[in-house]
């Protein structure tokens, strides 16, 4: 069982925060940018209520939503790793403002927002790091408006052969070694990645967890042969 304790995850991401974006783009061959691009187009802002991106890290998806909002919608990014948020704040300071963007330090399992606040709640490659997946999903649903969307972008395992075998070999053997060599941290962050993905539910299993959290019409869309999957659900009117 992979250790997803809050202390371990916070320390691990704190150690790699300064290199996190560069490492992601390098190890995914820039495909992670495409996944976020697809997410903000599949699940765009549609009203004037704010957008929330949880486990935002250095803010990649929050920035993507700010660009998509084009000045019409406030975007908020939250994360419980202080070092990651410091990188996000520096990125915001260097960027050209296109819409209000705020960052706050908060645990996804206990979000500091009232019920029914956001038209859209998103998370990219962060839900599997939440120690209690169901609690995190319930909190995301709670702060989402009735009729609003919850979007989860997460790694998954390809199903088609021989791509599945090739990718599995790269993901389990090449990526951890290259990532650890470049990131140089004592928490084995890039060994944790395939371990956490291997234990995390995907496809219909994660969709069912989202429904249990109070979402309906949950659909999922494999991306890049199933290397990542985008899940989208709508908050039910009777959700508590």
CATH number at residue 137: 3.40.50.150
Q: What is the mean pLDDT of residues 91-101?
A: 90
Q: Whole-angstrom Cα distance, residue 138 to residue 148?
A: 14
Q: Whole-angstrom Cα distance, residue 51 to residue 69?
A: 9
Return mean pLDDT, the chain.
91
Q: Would you list the DSSP string of 201-224?
A: --THHHHHHHHHTTEEEEEEEEEG
> For residues 185-221, b (16+ Cβ closer than 10 Å) or e, as one string?
bebebbbbbbbbbeebbbeeebbebbeebbbeebebe
Whether 41 is in a domain gets the answer: yes
Q: What is the mean pLDDT of residues 118-144?
A: 97
Whether 39 is in a domain gets the answer: yes
Question: Greater confidence, 28 or 54?
Answer: 54
Report the SS3 class of residue 30. coil
Whether 11 is in a domain gets the answer: yes
Q: What is the mean pLDDT of residues 195-207?
A: 93
Confidence at residue 239, expressed as pLDDT on a 0 to 100 scale: 45
Q: What is the mean pLDDT of residues 58-83?
A: 95
- Number of domain units in the chain: 1
pTM: 0.93
Question: Greater confidence, 19 or 35?
Answer: 35
Whether 206 is in a domain gets the answer: yes
Whether 139 is in a domain gets the answer: yes
Whether 229 is in a domain gets the answer: yes
Confidence at residue 183, expressed as pLDDT on a 0 to 100 scale: 62
Angle between helices 20-27 and 31-42 (to 10 degrees): 100
Whether 168 is in a domain gets the answer: no
Q: Above pLDDT 90, what percent of the chain?
A: 69
Question: Residue 40's domain spans which residues?
Answer: 6-156+201-235
């Amino acid at each position: 069982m992979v250790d997803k304790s809050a202390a371990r995850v916070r320390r691990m991401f704190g150690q790699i925060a300064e290199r996190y974006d560069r490492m992601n783009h390098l190890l995914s061959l820039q495909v992670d940018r495409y996944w976020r691009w697809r997410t903000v187009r599949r699940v765009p802002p549609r009203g004037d209520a704010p957008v929330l991106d949880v486990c935002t890290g250095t803010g990649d998806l929050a920035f993507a939503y700010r660009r998509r909002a084009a000045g019409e919608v406030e975007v908020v990014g939250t994360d419980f790793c202080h070092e990651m948020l410091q990188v996000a704040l520096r990125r915001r300071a260097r960027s050209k403002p296109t819409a209000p963007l705020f960052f706050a330090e908060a645990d996804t399992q206990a979000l500091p927002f009232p019920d029914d606040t956001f038209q859209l709640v998103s998370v990219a490659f962060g839900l599997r790091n939440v120690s209690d997946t169901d609690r995190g999903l319930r909190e995301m649903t709670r702060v989402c408006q009735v009729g609003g969307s919850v979007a989860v972008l997460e790694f998954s395992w390809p199903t088609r052969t021989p791509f599945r075998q090739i990718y599995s070999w790269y993901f389990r053997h090449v990526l951890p070694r290259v990532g650890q060599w470049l990131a140089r941290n004592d928490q084995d962050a890039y060994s944790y990645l395939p371990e956490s993905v291997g234990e995390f539910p995907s496809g219909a299993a994660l969709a069912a967890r989202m429904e249990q959290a109070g979402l309906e019409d949950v659909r999922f869309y494999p991306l890049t042969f199933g290397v990542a999957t985008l899940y989208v659900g709508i908050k039910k009117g009777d959700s508590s």
